[in-house]
Amino acid sequence: MLEQLALECFTEHLPMSRNGNGSYRPISSVWEGSDGELLEAMFKFYAVIPPEPILDSTFNAGRFWKVSKRRVVSMDKDAKYKPMIVADNRVMKGVMDSQFGVVVYDPPHVGPQGRDKSRKKFDVDFGATVECGKDQNWNLSYLYPPFLKQAKRVLKPEGLLLAKITDMVNNHRSKWPHCDFMRMAEEAGFTVCDLIVKVRNGPMVSNKWQNAHHARKRHCFWIVCRKSDDCERRNGKK
Ligand SMILES: C[S@@+](CC[C@H](N)C(=O)[O-])C[C@H]1O[C@@H](n2cnc3c(N)ncnc32)[C@H](O)[C@@H]1O
C-alpha cells in the first residue's frame, strides 16, 4: 500500500512522456499551468502523427503560441487580428482536406455583454460578438456542428482536435457547452479521448454583478478528440 502510494507520488512529479511507450506517466487531468504549456503537453501525450502543421481556427491574438516554435496556421473570421486565413471556421472556404495534424478551437464562450453589443472591450477581445439570445436557446453550442464537420475534413486521419470550452450562465440558467461539444464531436465522427480541467487563480469578476447565484467558475475544459475510431495508441504503434 505504502509502496503504491510512493509510486503514485513519484510518477506524478516525473516529466510527462509520450503515451504508449510502456511507461506509466500520465498527463494530469487537472492543469494549473498556461494554455500554451498544456497544448505542448497534449501534443506529446496524445499525438500519434506529427502535430504540425497546426490549424488554430480561432486565432484572435494568438496567445497560445506566444512562446511556441510550432508551425501554426492562423484562422479567424475577423481580419483585424491579421490571421493567415480570414475565414469562418464553420465553412473553412479554400482550405484543403486532410492537411493538419492538429486543429485548435477556442470559440467565444459568452455572447455579447450588456446593451452595446459590439464595442465593449471585453466582448471584442474575447470574440463575444456572436448571437446568443432566445433564438439560440441562450447558448453558443449551435456553433459547434458546422465547425466539427470542417475540423474533421481538414484533419489528417488520426489527427487531434483540441478544444477549449468554458461553461457559462446565461439568462439566469447554467449552460453546459462542454457536454454539448463532447456529444456533438462524437456525432461528427470523432472519438472523444479525454477531458482536462484547466484552472486559473481567480474567477472572472465584474463590478456590475451584485448577487451571486452560481459558483464563480475558475476553470475551463480542454477536450481531446481524435479523428479515429481509437482513443489509445497500441504499444506505441498504430
Ligand atoms: C476566445 S477568442 C480566441 C482567443 C485565442 N485563443 C487567443 O489565445 O488569443 C475567439 C476568437 O474566435 C473568433 N471567431 C469566432 N467565431 C468564429 C468563426 N465562426 N470562425 C472563425 N473565427 C471565429 C473570434 O473573432 C475571436 O477572435
The yes-or-no verdict on residue 19 having pLDDT over 70 is no
pLDDT-wise least confident of 3-7, 23-27, 74-78? 3-7
Ranking 39-43, 97-101, 132-136, 214-218 by mean pLDDT, the lowest is 132-136
Q: Find cell 474533421 and name the residue.
A: 152
**Residues pairing with 30 in the sheet:** 197
Ligand 1 probe mutation, 64, 76, 105, 124, most atoms within 8 A of CB: 76
Total tally of structural domains belonging to the chain: 1
Establish if 11 belongs to a structural domain.
no
One-letter identity of residue 218: R
pLDDT 10s digits, 155-211: 999 999 999 999 887 777 888 999 999 999 999 999 999 999 999 877 666 666 678
Give the mean pLDDT of 229-233: 85
* Residue 103 is assigned to a structural domain of this protein: yes
**Identity (one letter) of the amino acid at 69?**
K
Ligand 1 centroid–CA 148 distance in Å is 15
Q: Does the structure show a pLDDT above 50 at 9?
A: no
Sign, CA dihedral 232-234-237-238, equals: negative
Higher-confidence residue of 96 and 5: namely 96
Q: What is the pLDDT of residues 91-133, one digit of tens each?
A: 999 999 999 999 999 998 876 655 444 445 445 555 556 777 7
List the CATH number of the domain containing 144. 3.40.50.150
pLDDT of residue 149: 98
Q: Output the average pLDDT for the chain.
A: 83
Tell me the CA–centroid distance for residue 38 and ligand 1, in Å: 19
What 8-state DSSP symbol labels residue 65? G
The CB of 77 under 6 Å from ligand 1? The reply is yes
What is the C-alpha separation between 186 and 226, in angstroms, rounded? 10
Q: For residue 2, is it within any domain?
A: no
Compute, in angstroms, the gap from residue 202 CA to the centroid of ligand 1.
23
Evaluate whether residue 8 is within a structural domain: no
Range of the domain at 122: 25-201+214-226
Whether ligand 1 lies within 6 angstroms of the CB of 194 is answered as no
Residue 207 belongs to a domain:
no
Residue 96: predicted pLDDT: 98
Site of grid cell 449552460: 175
Do the domain assignments include residue 5? no
pTM of the entire predicted model: 0.84
Q: Does 62 sit in the ligand 1 pocket, CB within 6 Å?
A: yes
Residue at 93 is within a domain: yes
Is residue 142 lining ligand 1, measured as CB closer than 6 Å? no
Per-residue confidence (pLDDT) for residue 36, from 0 to 100: 98
Q: Is residue 3 part of a domain?
A: no
